[in-house]
């Protein structure tokens, strides 16, 4: 996945950076979580402070245009962003614990 910053704006009033990105990829379209992780690593910011507002696939191309907001702190992000945007950008919780519990109960012999 190749991410290019097309436009970057520092919005001091809202304590965030606003980015327009062009994302090139091969194969399947990357998920929001994959893009979010790559942006957080690229900008060296915590994953929780990255909000992907919009991702648009370009027809016939292996490219996505995205509008991303990177907040300075979580409190300001929760004040500004709508609930549905926050829910859309929540990181999925790992299901490893649930699977381990199910496997443990399946291995116990019943009397």
From first to last of its 111 residues, the chain has per-residue pLDDT tens of: 899 999 999 999 999 999 999 999 998 889 999 999 999 999 999 999 999 999 999 888 899 999 999 999 999 999 999 999 989 888 766 665 555 556 555 565 555
- In total, how many domains does the chain have? 1
State the Cα–Cα distance between residues 36 and 61, nearest whole angstrom: 21
State the Cα–Cα distance between residues 90 and 53, nearest whole angstrom: 12
Range of the domain at 51: 2-107
pLDDT score at 11: 93
Hey, which residues does 4 pair with through a beta bridge? 22
| CATH code for position 34 | 3.30.70.330
- Full-model pTM: 0.76
């Amino acid at each position: 996945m190749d991410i290019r910053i097309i436009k970057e704006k520092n919005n001091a009033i809202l304590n965030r950076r606003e980015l327009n990105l062009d994302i090139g990829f091969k194969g399947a379209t990357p998920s929001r979580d994959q893009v979010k992780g790559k942006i957080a690593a690229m900008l060296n910011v915590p994953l929780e402070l990255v909000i992907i507002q919009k991702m648009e696939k370009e027809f016939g191309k292996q490219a996505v245009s995205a509008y991303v907001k990177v907040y300075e702190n979580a409190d300001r992000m929760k004040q500004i962003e709508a609930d549905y945007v926050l829910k859309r950008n929540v990181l999925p919780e790992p299901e490893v614990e649930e699977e381990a519990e199910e496997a443990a109960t399946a291995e116990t012999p019943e009397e």
